[in-house]
Amino acid sequence: MIDTIKAATERLLGAYPPGRMVPVPDDLPFTDEGEAYAIQARVAASLGTPCGWKLGGIVRGEAPRYSRLFSELCRPSPACFSHDEFHRVYLEPELAVVLAEPIPARRR
């Protein structure tokens, strides 16, 4: 499992930058969500300064998914990005809020 996580991390980091497309690996046997988050954590540790979280899958019955946001890739509104900063451009609007203080942990 550790070899798979290490290999996947290296492959993803090799594509960033310059934002090169990489195929979905059929030679790395991913088996569970824990491995995916371990890969994500290792990649995130190399990408920039953590500044928040992106949350997806907020649908009843579905487990939420999350990933890191980085200061270097965030822009306050109104935001401007150069087309040259990306290998492919899609529009995916996101809403972000800044909380005045941490939300206390809950049991669930």
Task: Give tens-digit pLDDT for 15-67.
Answer: 877 666 777 778 887 778 889 899 999 999 998 898 888 887 778 888 888 88
Measure the CA–CA gap between 7 and 30, rounded to whole angstroms.
11
pLDDT over 80 at 5, yes or no: yes
pLDDT tens across 68-105, in order? 888 887 887 787 777 777 666 666 666 677 788 888 88
Total-model pTM: 0.69
**DSSP H stretches of helix in the chain:** 2-14, 33-47
Using CA atoms, how far apart are residues 53 and 68, in angstroms rounded to an integer?
5
Structure tokens at 57: 């899958």
DSSP 58-77: -STTS--EEEEEEGGG--PS
76: which 2 tokens? 């306050």
Report which residue type is found at 106.
R
Cα distance between residue 68 and residue 40, in whole Å: 9
pLDDT given at position 93: 63
Question: Token digits for 75?
Answer: 């822009």
Cis before 64 (ω within 30): no
